[in-house]
Chain A
């Protein structure tokens, strides 16, 4: 019994204590719907001969940022929104110039908020305007905890800005109606998906195109249809090395090499196969059939950059709080 206890304590110490020797594993803290994507990316990375073990943790992107700030020992973060990495910069966990560490502002792939409806599209949902109609139930995750949910807010606002020619009163009226149509705000993107698929809540799920295509593939085209709106919001998924953690663990090279892989043609191919739109033009061309044309507005064009979005929209008492009546 004593021996057993001792080995148990030893195992615990091993698992929790600081690792002094050269680490052989790194932790990737990631967003909720990227479960299958990174399982595939990690397998492909191992196939290139890399011996490092990649551990995975998935939850809402912002919840993950909070966890890292509270001490989650993530070597790399693969979030779905720049503002979440920015929180780590403010906390001193990630260097100021993280966007220049990797190509394309450190975003290996992108997606955008899109729609998933039940087979036959019974409520005839085609575009953002239909989501605010009376009697339509919309599911998307909580914008306070999920980058996915915040992108939905931004995309809806971008559409409304065009549709109502910038009339702020009308934009807010539309957004208020849209938010009032949401019966439940799950904390992560995947939880929102299961609410829509397993719990059969809502008429339309708004989530990343990547998730809508994956659901159609996994649960059947006879049950669900992906609908692409007329316009959406470019959602680039940023990656960063968590300096504070890799410096303490001595895992910087491992972390950097892993993130580099995501930008290689192999890494891009895996992303595309998992319905994340690749940045690599050749890989994108090869998968053109999967990804329909869509007009995407950028954060710079529509809102003047992420800093301005964070200050005007997502800060406490900001524009998001004005329409997020359900809190």
Chain B
């Protein structure tokens, strides 16, 4: 490490490394190790039996499909909001911008409580939906609603800064050269924001996969139909079935880690991408 430090003028390598490693070890790595030991202790056949049981498979299916749909919704809406917020000046823009972050600031349990009340058959939304045969509460729609709500900001906040950087003059030149608005968007803007857009979607998807507080309020929690993986882990824990809880938690952990690697690769791609563009 010494040769690295000597390359730098700046002080504080030892101190910041010390604090970081100490903290990471104590707060993150040690607890994770405790779980990995639990998983390692159970042997592969047992692990496989748990993570491939019918109920677990159904929980993955519910969780992943709901997160996928929520991400598509947030991708479309996020793109719209990012576009409107960066491209137009209009009264109320600042408020709109600030409100986008509400799901980050509002506790998920509160979000769940509110959604379940909104969509109740006598609720503000439910009274219009239920007569038309649309039942949100305690169905997969409810899970999708909760996941969508809690991850609204991701795509907006990922795309917004990149969209601000896209050179408007460049666009107007293209327009004067006879390019249609649609061509400008598909040829110039879309390629530029694509990495950021995908990055935002990945984060949104990851957050939806792990969402618990909001979902348990509104999901019916019916095994096989509206039971998400996080809830199944919680039930296994309450059942005193620690192997079951640890194995499923391990699956979520691996998915989270893969997501992070994907986001980091995307970030690297984005940097190269932007460099190539300019």
Contact = CB atoms under 8 A, between A and B. Distances in A.
Contacts of B110: none
Given A187-B235, A199-B220, A201-B220, A62 B138 contact: no
Given A201-B138, A327-B55, A60 B238 contact: yes
Interface string A302-327: 00000000000000000000000011
Interface in B103-124: 121
B238 A326 contact: no
Interface in A51-68: 59-60, 62-63, 66
A208 interface: no
A66 B238 contact: yes
A184 B223 contact: yes
A145 B232 CA distance: 13
B175 to A, nearest CB: 55
B275 interface: no
A166 interface: no
A185 interface: yes
Contacts of A244: none
B241 to A, nearest CB: 8
Contacts of A63: 238, 240
B238 to A, nearest CB: 4
A47 to B, nearest CB: 35
Interface string B200-220: 000000000000000000001
Given A199-B137, A327-B55, A185 B238 contact: no
B220 A184 contact: yes
Contact of B220 (A66, A183, A327): A183
A241 B235 CA distance: 27
A323 B77 CA distance: 46
Contacts, number: 42
B167 interface: no
A62 B239 CA distance: 8
Contact of A142 (B121, B224, B239): B239
A184 B221 contact: yes
Contacts of A200: 121
Contacts of A142: 235, 238-239
A186 interface: yes
Interface string B219-254: 011111000000000110011110000000000000
B239 A185 contact: no
Interface in B144-189: none
Nearest to B225: A183
Contacts of B234: 187
A249 interface: no
Contact of B222 (A144, A145, A183): A183
Contacts of A187: 234-235, 238
Interface in A133-152: 142, 144-145
Contacts of A326: 55, 223-224
B239 A145 contact: yes
5 contacts: A59-B238, A63-B238, A145-B239, A201-B138, A326-B223
7 shortest interchain CB distances as A-B pairs: A144-B239, A145-B238, A63-B238, A184-B222, A187-B238, A66-B240, A183-B222
Given A184-B223, A326-B223, 11 more contacts: A59-B238, A62-B238, A62-B239, A62-B240, A66-B240, A144-B238, A145-B235, A184-B220, A187-B234, A199-B137, A199-B138
